Amino acid sequence: MKIQLASSYGFCFGVKRAIKIAEEHQGSKTYGPLIHNKDEINRLKEGFNIGLAEKLEDVDRRDAVVIRTHGIPKDELAQLKAQENEIIDATCPYVTTPQNIVAQMSEKGYSIVIFGDKNHPEIKGVVSYAKDQQNAFIVADVKELDGLPILSKVAVVAQTTRKPEDFLKVVNALIPHHKEVRVFNTICNATFENQDAAAELAKDADVMIVIGGKHSSNTKQLHSICKSYCSDSYLIENETELNTSWFKGKRLCGISAGASTPDWIVQNVIDTIQSMVRVEEVGKSE
């Protein structure tokens, strides 16, 4: 069996930047998981003494606090500043962009429509920058637009990891019903590249392994895309979740990884698959 990596996969610019920032501030705490990858978070904890504060109560006064790549709500950032914490901002620049757009457009009296997952930390942060929370709407699907009290002027942004074609559906549904629709394409380019590369590989593969955090939006999107082309597509966090049976009789195993997945985990997965395939082949020959 041949193993082939997608032409684009793994760590994006924002994650690489955040990891570097955290490594340069040993002994600090991240507010919320820095990225959606528990193995990489453990590496930072063990190798760089980076702590984790899950909630504001876990942050001691004047702690050095690293803001996660997804950003945090505006009021929580203000509270950290008020208690004199050292703020080390590792928010991805692609996430601060929709934050700034929401702040500016809501100040100008526009309704805000955010296409994304209301429970995702990125979106919780983005919506908090709206001047009027009653005039900001989060939708995960075009159907959720029905009945919303959106003004005649509306500005639209998207979660950085969403599919462009789904974002376009939301935009197209708004245009006929509103006098002015300002569209800001805030989907990350790295997301496009990883998704396109995964789709191309999945078309040829007999089995696809997608590596990344189970709570990672972009990783779940990758898995969904791969599954649409290759029914035997599996989402794993690391090599311990691999199953030998997945590779029996397979010709080509494709591998992709989410934006929060480091190369060392990808390599561990490849090494384990190679070991599994060799063991199976030895058993057959015996």
Write out the binding residues for isopentenyl diphosphate: 36, 70, 120, 216-218, 260
CA distance 275 to 104: 54
Instruction: Give the CA dihedral 172, 176, 177, 180, nearest 10 degrees.
Output: 80
Annotated binding site for [4Fe-4S] cluster: 12, 92, 188
CA 237 to chain centre: 14
Give the full edge-to-edge strand order of the sheet including 136-139.
Answer: 136-139, 111-115, 153-158, 180-183
Annotated binding site for dimethylallyl diphosphate: 36, 70, 120, 216-218, 260
Q: Which of 40, 76, 122, 237 is catalytic?
A: 122
Residue 96 belongs to what H/E stretch? helix 93-107
Annotated binding site: 12, 36, 70, 92, 120, 160, 188, 216-218, 260
Whether 122 is catalytic is yes
CA distance 161 to 141: 14
Structure tokens at 138: 């989060």
Catalytic residues: 122
